[in-house]
Structure 1
Amino acid sequence: MGNRYLEGAFAPVTEEITAFDLPVTGRVPDDLDGRYLRNGPNPLNLEDPEAHHWMMGEGMVHGVRLRDGRAEWYRNRWVRSAEVAGRLGEPHPAGLAAVAADFAANTHVFAHAGRTLAAIEGGPPPYELDEELRTLGTCDFGGGLGTGPGTGLGEGVFTAHTKRDPVNGELHAITYHPLWDHVRHLVVDRSGTLVRAGRIPVDGAPMMHDFALTERHVVLIDQPVTFSMEAAAAGQQVPYVWNEGRGTAVGVMPREGGATRWFGTDPCYVAHTLNAYDDGEQVILDVVRYPRMDVARHIAEPMTLERWTIDPVAGTVARRVVDDRPQEFPRVGDGVVSRPHRYGYTAVTGELNDVVLAPVDGPLPDIAFDNAIIKHDYATGGSELHRFGGDAATGEAVFAARPGGVTEDDGYVLAYTHNPGRGAADLVVLSAQDFTGEPLARIHLPGRVPLGFHGSWIATGA
């Protein structure tokens, strides 16, 4: 029996590549100046391939540098934790701290305060990368995060799902640990210093995979996927299980801290939020909702894109299905995070048609990735689908604003896609305002980019 996360579009690559002056079909827009980076699991030296869990592969960052209408370079680099550096026969990076949990961050890569950071959910401090994706060391945000229990405001635990306020430049995070009776709200200022770490009481050690931010609030989701000591003792790589007796609740807390108000909704799992914003006294939260998730096997009942309206006065959460096609990795442009948004982008998963939800007490269908991305228009209620055709497996799409753009979708959508004709990946650049049209550019990379997790467009100077 094989492991699907080591095969096909998921199969790890075995070497690091550097290539310059990449060939392009079409034309790279002259005003795209920066790097498109994406992180994902790429395991080294697996002892038991059948037992491998997708979330546990060592992180590898893939990047393309765009400037002056050219694709200057492509690089892929493993994140150098101490263990990865040792396996590769290299000295530890000079800035690598002795952290309580040493793991090559595999979930996200983003920029803050002039640093490029590779991060993992519910894990050690992020790893700082240089312009060319070399690991410089760990980042503890000016000493505030710490490196483990009893150190720093954050006790050495960070997350991959951060939210950066586009107005004041603050970076917000919700962190959790299986042995805590709370989660923590961390705030890193625009200079890169951790300035606040508030505790939010939560029982049962839930997996808070993501959260949302508004101009006035932090929005949390307490759900029925919880830490299991029994699963950990049995050697389960990701010891979180579906807790049948636990409901789902949405928490709303003032951004400056204070009491969190919780509002119940039907049991479900939310891996990722699209965005949130304040609408008078109500909070609007857009999410991808799973009726149920089996984290250990990484399979789930098909998901839908929903809008949740939280009314703190009435004490209610009103749910509305926005799009019932299975989809994941929701994103908005960085410039509207925590503010009202019109557009959102998602990656299609599974088949577009004839999707049947499995009963919650029966076998769950496997997650599959498709070859399309969707642009959602919340003003009209419509959507546009861009198909890449054939076996062009496609993951998360990221919006890159055009410098000087005046509307929310004035810019480009970037995504890595598998090119079956070449057996390698392309970086595809779409016009966000001509979403279904032909790509502006297909940048042909020298190797594959396995399906992975999250990434960022990091404009020069960001």
Structure 2
Amino acid sequence: MTLAPVENPYLGGNHGPVDVETTAYDLRITGALPGELDGRYLRIGPNAIGAQDPVHYHPFMGSGMVHGIRLRDGVAQWYRNRWVRTPSVTGLLGEAPVLGPTTATHDTANTHVIRHAGKLMAVSEAGALPVVLDEQLATVSYNDFEGKLPHGFAAHSKRDPRTGELFAVTYSVAETGGQLVAVGADGVVTAVERIEIDDKPMIHDTALTANHVIVYDLPVTFSMDAAKQGHYPYVWQNGRQARIGLMPRYGSNADIRWFEIEPCYVYHTANAYEDGDRVVLEAFRHERVFDSTWWKPIEVPPVLWRWTFDLTTGTVHSGQVDDVAGEFPRIDERLIGAEHRYSYGVALHHGEVGNLAGRGIAKHDRVSKTTQVHDFGAARYAGEAVFVPRAQDSAEDDGWLLSLVHDAERDRTDLVVLDAGTLSAEPVAVVHLPVRVPAGFHGEWFPTQG
């Protein structure tokens, strides 16, 4: 395993951090912002503070910064960015601590922003606790779910749109295996079930069906040697088995049905659903990650993949969906756990396998078996696209896709609104931000409540 180059790719260009918190009002708009968009688009990602050692810096461990845009009545009212004030961040900023002590193994909060039971939370994985934010993106408190999260939560959880329950598969460097955590619609933890795995795999995401939670046990595991060298501590393990487990929502470890698959890694799931005695899972499949170099989260262009698990025969069939290299899949979240037709991903630039942004947005149609790409051009880089339905009862692709797009020529970022139904060449609207938003991880749309 080789060391990172002195010119760390995640400390320069659009991956490089910004060093100022900005608040701006009445943002300029090109096109017409739909009046139905009443809420906030939030995006989180790593944003290192101060000088960094390029040999050891990794974006997965960078300090979290949240970027927000408030939309209402066809107007972009404000943009603001704020560091999540974990103890390490306030120390580096020279500020008084905001958060109290915690039993979590680390304090990173840089991967996703979710809202559950009225609480807006910045989340990460591997033993980090959720951090509660207020409406203006200021840090408020940790949320350990009344002491029921001794080792933290997860980067990705799945909410059942029918019951309002939240399910997550959590893990920590402090122990082998993981846990299935179920949280009621009221924010109260209803179950914590142990998942027995004889190692410490990196479990970044999960998926939900009507009766099951997906558990990934893949060949990227914790390495004490890497950690001692100051590297990102999760590495590819040649020869280790890869398997996917189907765990009943309210079951125990003894109820998990494991299916062996070809070695690979999955960061992000599009969706999963049940089809009679079969469970269908779609996700972006990586042939390998963190193998040739410890700092490379994407080594081979990932593609959308489908696994079909037969609960009667105990067999699994799998195959590639199309040839468009991509990542960061999203669906209409009203269909989480149910059969979907469309998924949306970031279409990656060819040959730029380490980039956290892509050349455009891809719309995958399971029925027509086609993929349509909205290409932003060679000098523009798109982040994850979030689907927002036009109305709560509108059709699956009747709505908009929201994505932050960096314009390398201007070194500025725009919030681009696309028509999800047509993915036409001309955006519905473009909100021009006064700053650059570094390439990051995940975005979310939070409609105005009440």
The residue correspondences of 1:351-362 to structure 2 (distance < 5 A) are 351=350
Question: Which of the numbers 163, 172, 182 marks the counterpart of 2:167?
Answer: 172
Contact 2:31 2:430 in 1 (8 A): yes
Partner of residue 266, structure 1: 262
Residues 1:251 and 2:255 are matched in the alignment: no
1:310-389 aligned at under 5 Å gives the runs: 310-351=309-350, 366-367=354-355, 369-389=357-377
**Correspondence 1:224 to 2:219:** yes
**1:376 to partner: Cα distance:** 0.8
1:100 Cα deviation (Å)? 3.3
C-alpha change, 1:365 and 1:21, in structure 2 (3 Å) is closer
Using the TM superposition, give the Cα deviation of residue 316 of structure 1 relative to its aligned residue in structure 2, in angstroms: 1.4
Shift of 1:104: 3.8
Report the 3-state secondary structure (helix = DSSP H, G, I; strand = E; otherwise coil) of the residue aligned with 1:326: strand
| 2-structure distance, mates of 1:92, 1:451 | 27
| Partner residue of 2:26 out of 21, 30, 40 | 21
Structure 1 405/79 Cα, relative in aligned 2: closer, same or farther at 3 Å?
Answer: same
Cα deviation for residue 419 of structure 1 reads 2.2
Q: Helix, strand or coil for the counterpart of 1:110?
A: strand
* C-alpha distance after superposition, 1:332-381 (max 9, x if no partner): 12211111111100001231xxx7xxxxxxxx964564321101111111
Whether the 8 Å contact between 2:104 and 2:150 is mirrored in structure 1 is no
Partner residue in 2 for 1:39: 44
After superposing the two structures, state which structure 1 stretch, 261-270 or 98-107, moved more.
98-107
1:123 and 2:119 are equivalent in the alignment: no
2:96 aligns to what?
A: 91
More moved, 108-117 vs 402-411? 402-411
Q: 1:408 to 1:278 in 2, by over 3 A?
A: same
Q: Deviations over 1:256-296 (max 9, x none)?
A: 11310101111111111111011111100001111111162
In structure 1, distance between residues paired with 2:244 and 2:88:
38
Which 10-residue stretch deviates more, 44-53 or 216-225? 44-53
Q: Which moved more, 1:394-403 or 1:444-453?
A: 394-403
Q: How many residues align?
A: 440
**Structure 1 counterpart SS, 2:372:** strand
Distance 1:423 1:47 in 2: 22
CA drift of 1:404 comes to 4.0
How far 1:97 moved relative to its partner? 4.2
CA distance in 1, matches of 2:93, 2:201: 35
Q: 1:138 aligns with which of 139, 142, 146?
A: 142
Q: Which residue of 1 aligns with 2:35?
A: 30
Q: Which shifted more, 276-285 or 299-308?
A: 299-308
RMSD in angstroms over aligned alpha carbons?
1.7
Equivalent residue number for residue 3 of structure 2: none
Please give the per-residue CA displacement for 1:109-168, whole angstroms capped at 9, x wherever unaligned.
Answer: 111111111001223211111111011111122x0xx3xxxxx3x323211111011010
Runs of 4+ in 1 over 6 A off after TM superposition: none
Please tell me whether the aligned partners of residues 405 and 411 of structure 1 are also in contact (alpha carbons under 8 angstroms). Answer: no
| Greater Cα offset, 45-54 or 250-259 | 45-54
Mapped pair 1:103 → 2:97:
no
Matched, 1:78 2:83: yes
Q: Secondary structure at the match of 1:324?
A: strand
CA distance in 1, matches of 2:151, 2:211: 27
| 1:457 aligned residue (435, 445, 449) | 445
- Per mean C-alpha deviation after superposition, the further-off stretch among 100-109 and 440-449 is 100-109
User: Structure 2: how far apart are the matches of 1:80 and 1:365?
Assistant: 31
Provide the C-alpha distance between the structure 2 equivalents of 1:12 and 1:166, rounded to a whole number of angstroms.
35
In the alignment, is the contact (CA less than 8 A) between 1:268 and 1:292 conserved in 2?
Answer: yes
Give the match for residue 297 of structure 1.
295
Structure 1 residues 412-438: Cα deviation after superposition (integer angstroms, max 9, x where no partner): 100000123432100000111121231
Cα separation, partners in 2 of 1:424 and 1:365, compared to 1, 3 Å: closer
Match in the other structure for 2:419: 431
* Compared CA separation, residues 420 and 240, structure 1 to 2 (3 A): closer
Distance 1:368 1:100 in 2: 27
**What is the aligned partner in structure 2 of residue 406 from structure 1?**
394
- The corresponding residue for 1:361 is none
CA distance in structure 2 between the partners assigned to 1:37 and 1:229 by the alignment: 34
Cα displacement string for residues 39-78 of structure 1 (whole angstroms, at most 9, x for unaligned residues)? 0000012341332111111000011000011000001000
State the distance in 2 between where 1:190 and 1:210 align: 20
Structure 1, 366-375 or 217-226: larger mean CA deviation: 366-375
Q: Which residue of 2 aligns with 1:235?
A: 230
C-alpha contact 2:270 2:282 (8 A) present in aligned 1: yes
CA distance in 2 between partners of 1:249 and 1:98 (Å) = 33
Structure 2 residue identity aligned to 1:267: P
CA distance in 2, matches of 1:204, 1:20: 49
Q: Distance in 2 between matches of 1:290 and 1:5?
A: 20
Aligned to 1:447: 435
What amino acid maps onto 1:247 in structure 2?
Q
Deviations 1:215-241 (A, max 9, x none): 1101111111111222223332x2122
Structure 2 gap ranges (5+):
1-5
Counterpart for residue 360 of structure 1: none
Q: Retained in 2: the 8 A contact 1:385–1:436?
A: no
Q: Within 2, Cα distance between the matches of 1:293 and 1:422?
A: 32
Aligned to 1:308: 307
1:52 aligns with 2:57: yes
Code of the residue aligned with 1:271 in structure 2: it is Y
Q: Distance in 2 between matches of 1:307 and 1:164?
A: 21
Cα deviations across residues 150-191 of structure 1 (Å, max 9, x unaligned)? Answer: xx3x32321111101101001110011234232100011111
Q: 1:365 to 1:397 in 2, by over 3 A?
A: closer
